[in-house]
Structure 1
Amino acid sequence: MSAASEPHYLEIAELAPLLRGRRLSPVELTEAMLARIEALDGRLRAYARVTADEARAEARAAETLIMRGEYRGLLHGIPLAVKDLFWTKGVATAAGTTVHAGFVPAEDATVVRRLRQAGAIILGKLQLTEGAFATHHPSIAPPVNPWGADHWTGASSSGSGVATAAGLCHASLGTDSGGSIRFPCAANGLTGLKPTWGRVSRHGSFELAALLDHVGPIARSAADARILFDAIEGHDPLDPTSLPGRSPVAADEASLKGLRIGVDPYWNSNGTDDATQRAVENAQAALRSLGASISEVRFPDAWHIAGQWEAQCGVQTAVAHAGTYPARAAEYGPALSRLIEIGRSLDGMGYQRLLLSAAAFTGRVNALLETIDLLLVPVQPFAAPTYDRLGALAADPEANQRLIQYTAPFNISGHPSLTLPCGHTAEGMPIGFQLVARKGAERSLLGAGMALQRDTGWHKARPPC
């Protein structure tokens, strides 16, 4: 592959030395990426808007600094994109809605500002479901999965997953309130980090549910996810809920030797199809072969807590949208309206019961993770379903609860999770799994992912586009 003519599938860790060594120009790289977006995104619809002029200006600035020897680090000159719920100064930020279609922020979100300070080039804003909930607004054509056009793209960070997988940006930012970093990564064969709640600032991002929302990177490898995480994490005075300091550095960041990984065989197979079980078992075997020890554990009642997620999310979403709902309810799509109405119908005592249940569950997960280093679980019970199957799932509350049983519990508890690809179905659709760690242990998670990907090739597969 010529880096100059076909750079779109190179990882950040591969591009950075080319840019620093002046063997590849940020301007050349950005033009190649914009040309690819022009060629493919009419079909894939990953972008809500492409900011080509701004990207070109940022590329020229990056090139000038690098030529002067003022290299800022591994993101300098790298073309990225961000989910269209992060504020971008002077550029419309609609959060997948029509009600906010005219909103033009006067400042960047903290995470966008930190990417720019690191020298990254922002190619544009990526499409998402309405308000970052379950489905796209009826007036917005959803992104298309590059692995299979009739298959789900994976909930709200849909554009982020599609663009990163299809080589329309080198990595992206997403958010995850019930699985919306992890589902797109599993559906598109990517690596993504949902950090500890509060580890990455939420200032300048539209809320879905404040206590459930997590901001994190979507990338092609754990090494690339680590590069983005390093840039965006840390306390932010503009977000009083952000945690102090930074995530601690692990002693040996890219090794699995001696790590204790827990597996709950019953939970991992609860309604999980054969292809997913085989893929997750293959990942487990690979981790063991690289020095990790695998032991059986009993996870707390995830089914019960997953069943409470929608009501908890609904209350928080109703608060987030109080300025426009119900006053402008006619502009909302049916899924987001239904969620808000669920929240508006719950009384204070009912919500307090949810919070107490969440606190008890979180304590049990904390206790389990004191006995192991990482927990291995699927992302979902099956690979990305077709839209026909997804429609049937949406009409079945129990099936929908089963879909989120591996993701939503860790939004409620706030624990960090790394999603990694681990194979494909017979039809060629990607399958992913999660590693979950103690709060604040993001770098240990990323190191484990890097060690696994150094010796396996699942993350190197690319869609046929």
Structure 2
Amino acid sequence: MTELGRHIARREISSLEATQALLARIAKLEPELHAFALVTADRALDQARAADAEIARGIHRGPLQGVPIAVKDLCWIAGAPTGAGMAPGLRRIATEDATLVRRLKQAGAVLIGKTELSEGAYSDHHAAITPPSNPWNADYWTGISSSGSGVATAAGLCYGAIASDTGGSIRWPAAANGVTGLKPSWGRVSRHGVAELAASLDHIGTMARSAKDAGLLLGVIAGSDDRDPTALQDPVPDYLSLADDGVKGLRIGIDADWNTADVNDETASMIANAIATFTALGAEFVAIRMPDVTQAIADWTPNCAIEAAVAHEATYAKHKDQYGAILSAVIETGRALSATDYQKILLRRAEFRGRVNALLTTIDVMLTPVQPFAPLTLADIQSLGAQPALIAKLQRYTCPFDMTGHPTITLPGGFTAQGLPMGFQLVAPHLGEARLVRAGAAFQSVTSWHQQHPLA
């Protein structure tokens, strides 16, 4: 993304040429990958022509000008349908742009399409939708729910994509597809014009081929917003300009027991290699003890369920027959939860957040796996409903940091013996996204995992 942006700014490549090339690639690969809910070809070509015309007149909007990207189909684009992974009959034409879409347009980005996702951004795709296919191996999971964003970015159908994460939906697809995923602090990006799953758990972030690209995208969409009073007021750093500061002296926390307990050999080896790489770059490792996550993981589902019931209150009663079984079940769980039980969840969540906050004051970032096992096959995923212990294991390193709202970055860290990508994550204190981009860029300056592509 950053490289293409420089070429476009120098008029060495036109935005129109880049956009036409991607549309041709989408036409070739999308029938097999199903990454997009909607390809906005005509709009994208018009935006590319406008970007080229502005650059020719000396109007420069920044490093994203003329670069084709995608947005997850939770985000409103005026005049275009928003599906949110729901049944076709529940799609609605947006009358305005989401705040993040408006900011992307102001930055001169070309919006090439809207990426597919699981139903309502929860854990399963609606029966009317063909799920995205993993470009590395179609028999393997693409992650949820930002699977379309991960597939499109990995397969070279866009230069980056907007994504969201409520329980792991940036980190799982980033790891499964071999791309970089940046989940910022809760509230760092406005949620105005973004369909909700669970308001206090939903994090809007970015997916890209590199940490620098992910940081560039975040810098464009982040910031306060009068239309979303929960959006944070803190100034937005220039993540891209800070990306080359290196990690010498950076204190990276490691809970060796938590990182290795019931973790498969390939994942453990990836984590060990990441530690060795950061050590060679000058980072300092600090032994830490992560607070017990068991209750936080158990509380995530009912917490998400009651907020999903609120998010779907206006449509669920009237259109229940158009909802899939899994999303219906979580909404019903939320509707049945008592106020007393919900209050207990909130109190436990606040206590857990406080413990993690205190831990993160002692270090700069924390290093953990994204998941404790090798990439999952589609057959594994289909059996998850009957294996609650496996679900909890999958959520071990993701859900806790949605419950606390802390930022994370997922980085490609290796491949399995079967040739499937794997990823690990760094976690930072509140509003520590600049550290994550900096650490990710340093790691990627001496490794090439993020440069591997699944398709020619």
TM-score when normalising by structure 2: 0.98
Structure 1 position 287, deviation (Å): 0.7
Match of residue 185, structure 2, among 189, 193, 196: 196
CA 1:439–1:249: 2 relative to 1, 3 Å? farther
Q: Deviations over 1:349-387 (max 9, x none)?
A: 000000000000000000000111110011111233111
User: Is 1:148 aligned to 2:137, yes or no?
Assistant: yes
Partner in structure 2 of residue 50 of structure 1: 39
User: Is 1:27 aligned to 2:13, yes or no?
Assistant: no
CA 1:132–1:252: 2 relative to 1, 3 Å? closer
Match of residue 125, structure 1, among 95, 109, 114: 114
Residue 248 of structure 1 contacts residue 440 of structure 1 at CA under 8 Å; is this kept in 2? no
Structure 1 position 27, deviation (Å): 0.7
Partner in structure 1 of residue 448 of structure 2: 457
Partner in structure 2 of residue 312 of structure 1: 303
User: Is 1:88 aligned to 2:77, yes or no?
Assistant: yes
Task: Give the residue type in structure 2 aligned to 1:153.
Answer: T
Partner in structure 2 of residue 351 of structure 1: 342
User: Is 1:97 aligned to 2:93, yes or no?
Assistant: no
Residue 161 of structure 1 contacts residue 185 of structure 1 at CA under 8 Å; is this kept in 2? yes
- The alignment partner of 2:313 has SS state of coil
Partner in structure 2 of residue 218 of structure 1: 207
Task: Give the residue type in structure 1 aligned to 2:400.
Answer: P
Partner in structure 2 of residue 370 of structure 1: 361
User: Is 1:111 aligned to 2:100, yes or no?
Assistant: yes
Partner in structure 2 of residue 425 of structure 1: 416
TM-score when normalising by structure 1: 0.96
Partner in structure 2 of residue 178 of structure 1: 167
Segments of 5+ residues of structure 1 without an aligned counterpart are 1-11
Structure 1 position 413, deviation (Å): 0.2
User: Is 1:337 aligned to 2:328, yes or no?
Assistant: yes
Match of residue 352, structure 2, among 349, 361, 365: 361
Q: Deviations over 1:394-447 (max 9, x none)?
A: 321111011011000000000000110100100011110110011011111111
- The alignment partner of 2:114 has SS state of strand
Q: RMSD in angstroms over aligned alpha carbons? A: 1.3
- The alignment partner of 2:137 has SS state of coil
Q: Deviations over 1:219-258 (max 9, x none)?
A: 0000101110110111011001011032456896431100
- Provide the rounded CA distance (Å) in 1 between the counterparts of 2:250 and 2:429: 13
Task: Give the residue type in structure 2 aligned to 1:145.
Answer: N
- Provide the rounded CA distance (Å) in 2 between the counterparts of 1:169 and 1:252: 24
Partner in structure 1 of residue 65 of structure 2: 76
Structure 1 position 302, deviation (Å): 1.2
Q: Deviations over 1:188-224 (max 9, x none)?
A: 0011110000010000000000000000110000010
Task: Give the residue type in structure 2 aligned to 1:209.
Answer: A
User: Is 1:445 aligned to 2:436, yes or no?
Assistant: yes
Partner in structure 2 of residue 9 of structure 1: none
Partner in structure 2 of residue 39 of structure 1: 28
Structure 1 position 285, deviation (Å): 1.0
CA 1:99–1:146: 2 relative to 1, 3 Å? closer
Segments of 5+ residues of structure 2 without an aligned counterpart are none
CA 1:295–1:213: 2 relative to 1, 3 Å? same
Partner in structure 2 of residue 264 of structure 1: 255
- Provide the rounded CA distance (Å) in 1 between the counterparts of 2:154 and 2:454: 7
Structure 1 position 327, deviation (Å): 2.6
Residue 110 of structure 1 contacts residue 201 of structure 1 at CA under 8 Å; is this kept in 2? yes
- Provide the rounded CA distance (Å) in 2 between the counterparts of 1:44 and 1:291: 40
Task: Give the residue type in structure 1 aligned to 2:27.
Answer: E
The more displaced of 95-104 and 433-442 is 95-104
Task: Give the residue type in structure 1 aligned to 2:451.
Answer: K
- The alignment partner of 1:258 has SS state of coil
Structure 1 position 138, deviation (Å): 1.1
Partner in structure 1 of residue 398 of structure 2: 407
Segments ≥4 residues shifted beyond 2 Å: 99-102, 245-254
CA 1:317–1:378: 2 relative to 1, 3 Å? same
Task: Give the residue type in structure 2 aligned to 1:221.
Answer: S
- The alignment partner of 1:328 has SS state of helix
Residue 180 of structure 2 contacts residue 411 of structure 2 at CA under 8 Å; is this kept in 1? yes
Residue 2 of structure 2 contacts residue 64 of structure 2 at CA under 8 Å; is this kept in 1? no
Task: Give the residue type in structure 1 aligned to 2:373.
Answer: F
Partner in structure 2 of residue 4 of structure 1: none
Residue 376 of structure 1 contacts residue 435 of structure 1 at CA under 8 Å; is this kept in 2? yes
- The alignment partner of 1:440 has SS state of coil
